Amino acid sequence: MQFRKKDLLGIKQLEPEEINLILETAETFKEISTRPIKKVPTLRGRTVVHLFYEPSTRTRTSFEIAAKRLSADTFNISASTSSIVKGETLLDTAKNLEAMNPDIIVLRHSAAGAPHLLARHVQASVINAGDGMHEHPTQALLDLLTIKDKKGTISGQTVAIIGDIAHSRVARSNVWALTKMGAQVLVAGPTTMIPHDLDKLGVEVFYRPEDVIPKADVIMMLRIQLERQGRMLLPSLREYARVFGLNEEKLLQAKPDVLIMHPGPINRGVEISPAVADGPYSVILDQVNNGVAVRMALLYLLIGGEKDE
Amino acid sequence: MSKLIRGGRVLDPASGLDDMHDLLIEGDKIKDLGPPGALDKKSDSVEVINAEGLWVVPGLIDMHTHLREPGEEYKETVLTGSQAAAAGGFTSICCMPNTKPANDNSAVTDLILRRAAEADLVRVFPVGAISQGQKGEMLAEYAELKEAGVVAVSDDGIAVMNSQLMRRALEYAQVFNLPVISHAEDRDLAGDGVMHEGVVSTRLGLREIPSAAEDVMVFRDCSLAEVTGGRLHIAHLSSAGAVELVRQFKAKGVQVTAEATPHHFTLTDEALENFDTNLKVNPPIRSSADLTAIHQGLADGTIDAIATDHAPHSTIEKDVEFDYAAFGMIGLETAFPLTLRLADQGLLSPLEAIEKLTSNPARIIGVDLGRLTPGLPADVTLIDPNREFTVDVNQFRSKSRNSPFHGWQLRGKTVMVLRDGRIIFTEKNTSG
């Protein structure tokens, strides 16, 4: 099977077979990162541009390492969101980049749909590295890979996503990814952070973490954006941590082989206590490790093979 | 010089006439109507206009247009907006006051009317601001605005958040017999939302505008109309709750009227799936349940008028990320065929559909137009209801292209438009 899409804009557009292909390809690339010389010539002479309109350390570094281990040439463009409002538009930037013939543009942007806009205007493949509150497909793929590694299969697992669902692109991409792959998804979080009609996306909605923790094979904690306090969504981080955060006490109700995941960066003591984040059930660093393999797989699949438009 | 429009189907909602009739125009006035052939010998030097197969209707009236002049002439001017209106079958348009500067004084009103006179196409009726600078703090000078020619007041685009100011506007506007047009939106609830709150906003991760943002303000304004006895008109109803509130207050005898736009009675939020910024409008395009409620409101008369909310924007405002795009779409050149779809679906009779684009808006803004009555100005539109065409934004007369209906297959084309007995649009070319 070949990967025939020009772009990776979201999990929503992917078929389960395509997701499996990405995961299987990632599995084969994992070994490269364990070698003393962590580089293969697969994408030599190819150009990957990382266009980041939002600050990111983990995702950008992960993409960059992935591209370099495949010998692609990489370029980073960081722009603050405010500079687009004042200066060059995304489409002007895109046209300028296009004139330099990149093979892939990796875009991180605070506005939902920005990668879709970009993809309509460039020949290069576009990878969505996070668009507003919409999708973060590579995060969901690395989460799937982590679950598959640890549990053997994704289908049939019960996955609890806990926290600020409404503002989370990680949650949205994971809802698509997990439901497509046959997992059962439960979500829990304060009502102010559960978006309208969420149940229509094929998930079961709860409010209190205690209602989902005992059922879960996997618990994904979401990062709480600290500035949400000012937007009437929650009274205080103290109360959030007490009611919705994951600590050792709440974890007593969990299954003995539960996996604890977090997309990072974590707010220690807010959505997750240090003891849980660093504890035996945590696979947070496996997620980071798998991120490189998944991104290598995507770069490889998007550049190689024939494409549909 | 007389004109005889022969062989057409005349639809005149005010008189209830829907029959094969001829229409005689003398000078700038409607002279007579009669069965086919009855008027043939009434006039000597008569120019015959063949209307076989066409609908002959009162010139359409759009009570909600944005002309962007003064201030944003790169999007639209009074001239280009008038050309677009004529091409869409309109002979009268009301232009909203959110220009730059806002139309809150006679100088701006005068400028718009001077430009309209220079364009010399459709009638332009300016709407004045409710508050000075549309800031929602002090009442604008309604006496001066009325004398200059405004037909209503509205802070369209910027909802009046101060309930006391809205109350005073509904009271004070009565002195000058001006309706108050409400852009009903609780700006705190709408926040920085960009689309309707529902499963689609949840899927797309776009910030949401709840229906309640509209409903609470429709309730507030209807209550204030009840208390003050003022004349209230709710612009662009978009939610099921708002339709039901208007229905209830009308039943109580409160003086409230309402309009709906073609985009709100044609589209649902599912259309936003591809982040097309032309679908970003305020109020937002809502769910299929809201669409059904608007259809019912149109059918049972809760919604009196169909208005375009024609809101021109250039590529500068629209070829950007969805979050950054301006709200609004243009509508003058697609309003009629989209309205005709309601008749095709059996929701409205042809006469009811025309009524919402002619005599009803005329009544709301208090102008003696929108009827085919002998003695009235000869504002007449000829439409081919059967002609199919593909919407092509590049053929639009409007200066802007921000329509999501590009490429749609529609039926119902404006063939000729007369204002004051003068042809201001024919299908081939626009005069002026």
Q: Per-residue pLDDT averaged across B169-178, rounded?
A: 98
User: Above 90 in pLDDT, residue A251?
Assistant: yes
DSSP B25-64: EETTEEEEEESTTTTTTS-SSEEEEE-TT-EEEEPEEEEE
A163: left (phi over 0), alpha (psi -120 to 50) or beta: left
Cis check: omega of the bond before B283, within 30 degrees of 0: yes
From residue B412, alpha-carbon distances to A52, A261, B310, B338, B415 in Å are 48, 58, 19, 9, 9
8 Å CB contact between B280 and B259: no
Residue of B nearest to A12 (CA): B203
* Stretch A228-253: mean pLDDT: 90
Q: Which of residues 183-212 of A touch B (CB under 8 A)?
A: 195-198, 200-201
Contact flag B205-A89 (C-beta cutoff 8 Å): no
- From B273, which residue of chain A is nearest by alpha-carbon distance? A113
pLDDT digits (tens, 9 = 90+) for B106-131: 999 999 999 999 999 999 999 999 99
Higher pLDDT, B14 or A88: B14
Q: Does residue A285 surpass a pLDDT of 60?
A: yes
Cα–Cα separations (whole angstroms), residue B1 to B25, B26, B43, B59, B67:
9, 6, 9, 20, 33
H, E, C per residue of B207-275: CEECCHHHHHHHHHHHHHHHHHCCCEEECCCCCHHHHHHHHHHHHCCCCEEEEECHHHHHCCHHHHHHC
The active-site residue, picked from B309, B368, B379, B392, is B309
Mean pLDDT score, A208-215 = 98
| CA–CA dist B66, B385 (Å, integer) | 27
Cβ neighbours of B323 in A, within 8 Å: 110-112, 132
pLDDT score for B260? 98
Please check whether residue B192 touches A, CB under 8 A.
no
Residue in B202, B274, B286 to test binding to A, most A beta-carbons within 10 Å: B202
Active-site annotation holds for B379 = no
Counting one residue from A and one from B, how many pairs have CB atoms under 8 Å apart? 66
pLDDT at A229: 64
Task: Tell whether B284 is within 8 A of chain A (Cβ).
Answer: no
B321: nearest CB among A111, A172, A196: A111
How far is residue A9's CA from residue B74's CA, in Å, rounded to a whole number? 34
- The owner of tokens 């119902």 is B412
Q: pLDDT tens, B373-402?
A: 999 999 999 999 999 999 999 999 999 999
How does pLDDT run across B292-342, given as a tens digit for each residue?
A: 999 999 999 999 999 999 999 999 999 999 999 999 999 999 999 999 999
Q: What is the pLDDT of residue B45?
A: 80
Contact A132 B323 (CB under 8 A): yes
Mean pLDDT value across residues A270-285: 96
Tens digit of pLDDT for each residue in B347-368? Answer: 999 999 999 999 999 999 999 9
Q: Provide the token pair at A189.
A: 């979080």
pLDDT mean across residues, chain A: 93
Residue B431 pLDDT: 39
Facing A112 at nearest CB: one of B198, B210, B322: B322
Q: Is B206 on the interface with A (CB under 8 A)?
A: yes
The C-alpha atoms of residue A155 and residue A265 are separated, in whole angstroms, by 27
Of A12, A114, A196, the CB nearest to B202: A196
Cα separation, B58 vs B364, in Å, equals: 16
Q: Where are the alpha helices (DSSP H) in B56-130?
A: 78-87, 106-119
- Mean pLDDT, chain B, as a whole number? 96
Contact residues, chain B, for A116 at CB < 8 Å:
274-275
Helix H or strand E encompassing A21:
helix A16-30
pLDDT mean over A291-306: 89
Q: How far apart are CA B103 and CA B126, in angstroms?
A: 8
Q: Can you tell me the distance from the alpha carbon of B308 to that of B329, in angstroms, rounded to the nearest whole number?
A: 9
* Residues in chain A, overall count: 309
pLDDT score of A81 more than 60: no
C-alpha dihedral over B296, B297, B302, B303, to 10 degrees?
-140
Per-residue pLDDT for B432 more than 50?
no
Shortest Cα–Cα distance, B417 to chain A (Å): 40
Q: Is it the case that residue B232 has pLDDT exceeding 90?
A: yes
> In the prediction, which pLDDT does A274 show?
97
Are B372 and B358 in contact by the 8 Å Cβ rule? The answer is no
- Say yes or no to pLDDT of A109 above 60: yes
CB A73 within 8 A of CB A50: no
Residue in A89, A192, A194, A205 to test binding to B, most B beta-carbons within 10 Å: A89
pLDDT for the residue numbered A85: 53
| B178 close to A (CB below 8 A) | no
Residue A230 confidence (pLDDT): 64
Chain A neighbors of B274, CB-CB under 8 A: 116
What percent of chain B is modeled with pLDDT above 90?
A: 97
pLDDT in tens, B399-416: 999 999 999 999 999 999
Given a cut of 80, whether residue A226 has pLDDT beyond it is no
Confidence of residue B41 (pLDDT cuts 50, 70, 90): confident
Asked whether residue B430 carries a pLDDT value surpassing 50, the answer given is no
| B205 contacts on A by Cβ (under 8 Å) | 112, 131-135, 169, 172
Residue A82: pLDDT above 90? no
Give chain B positions within 8 Å (CB) of A201.
199, 202-203
Judged by a CB distance cut-off of 8 A, whether residue B315 touches chain A is no
